Structure 1
Amino acid sequence: MKTKKYILKGLATCLIAASLSACVDLEPKAMSFLTPENTFVDKAGLETMLRLCRKQMNFEWFGDAFNSSNCETYSVYEYAWSDLAVMGGPETKEIHNMVTQLTPTTNMYLHLRYWVFGWNGIKYANTVITRAPEADGMASEEDRNACLAEGYFHRAYWYYLLTNQFGDVPWIGEEITGAKLDFNTVSRKTILANIKKDMEYAVQWLPKEVIRGAVSRAAGEHLLAKICLATGDFQQAVDATTRCINNYGLRLMTERFGINSDDKSKDVYNDLFQEENISIVENKEGIMIGQEIYGLDGCSSPGGSNRKRNFVPQWHSGSKMKTPDGKNGTTDASGIYDGYEQLEYLGRGLAKIRPTNYAQYSLWSNCGDDMRHNSNNWYDKSQIKYNLPASKGGSAAYFGQPVDPAFCSDTMRCYFSFPIVKVLIDKDDIKAGGKVPVGGFTDQYIFRLAETYLNRAEAYWWLGQNDLATADVNTIRRRVNAPEFSSVTLEDILDERARELFLEDHRKTELTRIAFLKAEKGVDGYSLSNFSEKNWYYDRVMEKNNFFATEYYYSTNAFIMKPYHVLWPVPRNAIESNTQGRINQNYGYDGYEDNIPVEELEKRYNN
């Protein structure tokens, strides 16, 4: 529509001119005479824009991460550059050495996608924020304020991510309707203060009851709490999470429910992530949900989630998975023969994400009967079997037997354990080339009440109320039959987030947020004065991520990270096209030497 093209002027020209239109048509053909002036003037028009805002969040969680013609699952980069994982693909496709490969001109999708989609999300939200006060056809001022409140929500959501991915970035507080080339960087602290104020307004006006996929007041409380954690307003974080937990009819699901409720071999944690269960009314744990239903108009990834492709090991590479008698052991060839069921179950994984030893082993030591690690929800690598029949060149002696890792030449990519409950998506699986399953359609929790409890636990921990922090973590653990803690540390809370929220939270963002907090408070010798040279994020990754810590050599490249990678580089195109202002580059990247102190740039913003 001409509408979309019009409102992309300015911000698209300056901030997202990075030739990254593979996932969004930035220049759609004009189909009508519609413009913002005659489209976003009433409730129906603004609701159209709000639906676009909601869809924007779905792009993070669905799609083929290897195929640039499809939308990638952007959230993989939140995991790959954290304590939990690295990129499993070869360095020709993925970043291993962050020093040489992660630059302001990197042309490998990755973090630049978040830059593009973050600013698009802010742009859509600002259209609503600017036009809601004057829109016609609102039933009441309450209706108008609710519309404005959701606009604030979406803007805050993306700024929360951008400020923990890129740090200081421009603040854009209103709709841009023409070319603009004078953006200036504003401090992360200022931006967080702005979105905190917005969300304090929003939680007064967001509706308590909404259809699945829309933004409720509980979702507003949840996001407000995350922002308060980032600003260090821990008591306010406690207050917001407590309202979210107590005031809106939400509760942790502790009893069996949904499609498999009569299957005694399953469990309630498994119920939570069945594709048919995520959006049902009976499920009281979902706070905000991204909906991706096969055939639903507006799905962010028309080919499905592709999670089998992205998160499952490349177990089917027969030449790397040899049998002890020297035969190729596995295959992804489809057909009706014994062994095909392994392909149907696991899909054709390509190991976009390769979990660390911390994610595979340390997290689960002494886990007892934790149902998140049982066979319903976790796939142990010892379950991978030789599935290439002798008639197809395999071994008759070893067919159907567990793969022997001693004869696997690539255990990095082909042989590892992983959580399956959120990965093996079968529903409406659109098979690659019509042959092999790669991961079907599923709704996605954007916010879930389990995270609210863990957010509150962290806030209590910062406040020194360790007994209350421990109680909240144990509430989560009790539901899954995990042994309870007598007293929790911050590390315990982060471990619990990793166990509970895989593929639901933004792991890198949350680690960076904590790194900023420790630096601001001078905890453990950290300081903002040398944040990109010494920070807790880097130290934790070095402690937990065995690949970066050892500079593990895979293929023709090593996994290398430095302290300045706590923040990602701002795309050079964004800086150079902003000819009348200044967007600063982050420390450690080419262009940093041209920075203007952010205090000076904020004076321009304030004036």
Structure 2
Amino acid sequence: MKNLLLILALACVTLSSCSDFLDEEALDFKSADNSFVTSSDFDKSVNNLYWLVRSEFYSGNEQQTFDYIFGTDLVYDGQIQGAQRFNDFDNTCNPSNTYLNSHWTNLYKIVAETNTIISRLPASSMSEDKKQKFEAKAKFFRGFAYRTLAYLYGGVPIELEEIFVPKKNYVRSSKKEVLSQVIEDLKFAAENLSPITEVADGEISQPAAYHLLSEVYLANQQYEEAYDAATLVIDNPDLDLMKNRFGSLKSEPGDVYYDLFRAGNQNRNSGNTEAIWVIQYETNVIGGDNGTSNVYGSGYKAERVFCPLVRDLRVDGEGVSPFLWPNSTFSSGGRGVGFGIPTIYFSNTIWENSDWNDMRNSNYNIVRKFICDNPESKFYGQVLDTENPPEGIEVPSRSWFAYQSKCTTPGQHPEELFDNFETLALSSNAGFTYADQYLFRLAETYLLRAEAALGMNRKDLAKADINVVRSRANAKLCSENDIDIDYILDERMRELGLEEKRRLTLGRLGLVYYRTVEVAHNPLVRNMAEKHNLWPIPYEEIERNTEAVLEQNPGY
């Protein structure tokens, strides 16, 4: 035994250290030490960043995907239960409640992945040009994550290095410091990413970076810089608003705004020049998310959440609904369950205050007229209108309300979901939205630039940009007297609706409470206060940060 100890001791002396002797070298499998060498290695890591973004905003838990929409001026909870859907802010936003914690975790996962990419680039075998391109991609996603954290939480800890051991001494940077870091990252990304014509569908590009940079400049009240960044997107010759019918249903009744959201129409390969960054979905493909075998699986469930549960509607004492459900029709909306009921402000007021005949308010885009298609109902063949409901019918209610057709795909569900294609009857596994999803599109860039112009006290420029968007919708043009931040936020509702991550927009402006309670009078939001303009820092993060103080947001 003594001889063995001596041998080990001598071995440790002859090696640089005993720990070096014990270190394992991966020779025939991938490890953290040998996985960041070639461009293929870095592509895999970047692909994971796309997946993390899709998981956070479109494919995660059915409830938490829509935390960016519920509890704002857009919608309210159609089925109260637990902490989900922001019907009680004291419950949902309790720092000790783990309900919101996944967002903090997911966004910092993006940060960690990007820091790993950046730290491993110098030692890779790639050319300098390729290293720069991957650095640009990583910094775009890092900026994207920190921008989102800043809008949700205010100032947060900034970490720009790859972490190898747990740290317990984080402190919060100010929101201003976070936004400054985001701007630095996005400027590098915008200058070094590829043009939009040189990337695959779903990939980030220079216009995506400049669009996001414009938004963050707005958050930092750098209005001229925001205006200039948006201008670089708007003036890009490869981008333009879609003004004519196009795509998969262009020969069917509808309009160009309706076409923007039909299956297969979101990417540039469909002729769409308005899309800037599109989240990709495929059906029944590994990694594609939107499968047809289980509605409770991973996929974007806007159809399920934001279309009404017409199955439960009863009119004039009848024992059946006048509408068949689930059906791939406007009258059913697919397989909606009515969790997200639109506020009256969203469904009616913003149109009454502007132009009810706006294309974006047509029945193709906000379904108000429903054709009774149940042969067993005495109303069969008649049209029921949410604006003139039958006596005794509450509108809106979970079983019947005006809904945005962009949340579903009438007549275009995957063939595997049809129980009867002739009647368009769907199986119980429907409920996803079977189309790619816009994260950024050019109409929003115009509205960002209009907001920047307003900040510059140039209402003439703001009016010009807003009216570009309104002209496409054949809507009455606005005047300079119309324009303030509320008008722009209303116009974002008209143009983007449930497509927008509304909590981020209102959080960027510090107006979540004001717009939800004082403007929209959201009817089912309880215990909301000014403090809820920001989410609380998760208590578990504060608790585990034992070597420094991670301060909580005021009021919590």
Q: TM-score range by the shorter chain?
A: 0.7 to 0.9
**Among 211, 221, 227, the residue aligned to 1:238:** 227
For the Cα contact (< 8 Å) 1:342–1:387, is it kept in 2? no
Q: Is residue 280 from structure 1 mapped to residue 304 from structure 2 by the alignment?
A: no
Most deviating of 72-81 and 464-473: 72-81
For the Cα contact (< 8 Å) 1:311–1:354, is it kept in 2? yes
For the Cα contact (< 8 Å) 1:309–1:348, is it kept in 2? yes
Give 2:280's aligned residue.
Answer: 291
In structure 2, give the amino acid aligned to 1:46.
F
Give 2:187's aligned residue.
Answer: 200
Bigger radius of gyration, 1 or 2?
A: 2
Q: CA deviation at 1:341?
A: 6.6
**Among 428, 441, 454, the residue aligned to 1:461:** 454
Give 2:370's aligned residue.
Answer: 383
Q: Is residue 267 from structure 1 mapped to residue 255 from structure 2 by the alignment?
A: yes
Change (3 A) 1:342 1:423: closer
For the Cα contact (< 8 Å) 1:55–1:300, is it kept in 2? no
Most deviating of 287-296 and 478-487: 287-296
Give 2:528's aligned residue.
Answer: 561
Change (3 A) 1:344 1:460: closer
Give 2:309's aligned residue.
Answer: 314
For the Cα contact (< 8 Å) 2:309–2:336, is it kept in 1? yes
For the Cα contact (< 8 Å) 1:218–1:248, is it kept in 2? no
**Among 78, 95, 101, the residue aligned to 1:88:** 78
Q: Give the Cα–Cα distance (whole angstroms) in 2 for the partners of residues 383 and 333 of structure 1.
A: 13
Secondary structure, counterpart of 1:546 in structure 2: coil
For the Cα contact (< 8 Å) 1:307–1:423, is it kept in 2? yes
For the Cα contact (< 8 Å) 1:315–1:414, is it kept in 2? yes
**Among 503, 513, 519, the residue aligned to 1:508:** 503
Q: CA deviation at 1:103?
A: 0.5
- CA offsets, 1:89-111, max 9 Å, x none? 2233633121244201324x4x3
Give 1:424's aligned residue.
Answer: 409
- Matching of residues 421-500 of structure 1 within 5 Å: 421-424=406-409, 426-428=412-414, 431=417, 434-435=427-428, 437-487=430-480, 488-500=483-495
Give 2:54's aligned residue.
Answer: 58
Q: CA deviation at 1:88?
A: 2.1
**Among 122, 127, 134, the residue aligned to 1:147:** 134
For the Cα contact (< 8 Å) 1:344–1:437, is it kept in 2? no
In structure 2, give the amino acid aligned to 1:584.
E
Q: Give the Cα–Cα distance (whole angstroms) in 2 for the partners of residues 248 and 176 of structure 1.
A: 42
For the Cα contact (< 8 Å) 1:427–1:442, is it kept in 2? no
Q: CA deviation at 1:268?
A: 1.3
Change (3 A) 1:202 1:219: same
- Fraction of identical pairs, as percent: 30
Secondary structure, counterpart of 1:114 in structure 2: helix
Aligned alpha-carbon RMSD (Å): 2.7
Q: CA deviation at 1:406?
A: 4.1
Q: Give the Cα–Cα distance (whole angstroms) in 2 for the partners of residues 369 and 576 of structure 1.
A: 54
Q: So what's the TM-score if we normalise by structure 1?
A: 0.77
Secondary structure, counterpart of 2:440 in structure 1: strand
Q: Give the Cα–Cα distance (whole angstroms) in 1 for the partners of residues 517 and 451 of structure 2.
A: 22
For the Cα contact (< 8 Å) 1:368–1:483, is it kept in 2? no
Q: CA deviation at 1:34?
A: 2.1
Q: CA deviation at 1:272?
A: 1.4
Give 1:133's aligned residue.
Answer: 122
Q: So what's the TM-score if we normalise by structure 2?
A: 0.84
For the Cα contact (< 8 Å) 1:287–1:448, is it kept in 2? yes
Most deviating of 200-209 and 174-183: 174-183
Q: CA deviation at 1:38?
A: 0.6
Q: CA deviation at 1:142?
A: 2.5
Most deviating of 296-305 and 76-85: 296-305
Give 1:220's aligned residue.
Answer: 209
Q: Give the Cα–Cα distance (whole angstroms) in 2 for the partners of residues 227 and 388 of structure 1.
A: 53
In structure 1, give the amino acid aligned to 2:542.
I
Q: CA deviation at 1:570?
A: 1.8
Give 2:96's aligned residue.
Answer: 105
Change (3 A) 1:177 1:42: farther
Q: CA deviation at 1:412?
A: 3.1
In structure 2, give the amino acid aligned to 1:427.
H
Q: Give the Cα–Cα distance (whole angstroms) in 2 for the partners of residues 407 and 376 of structure 1.
A: 26
Gaps of 5+ in 1: 1-29, 64-69, 335-339, 390-395, 516-535, 553-557, 590-607
In structure 1, give the amino acid aligned to 2:536.
P
Q: CA deviation at 1:408?
A: 4.0
Give 2:22's aligned residue.
Answer: none
Q: Give the Cα–Cα distance (whole angstroms) in 1 for the partners of residues 415 and 549 of structure 2.
A: 46
Give 1:6's aligned residue.
Answer: none
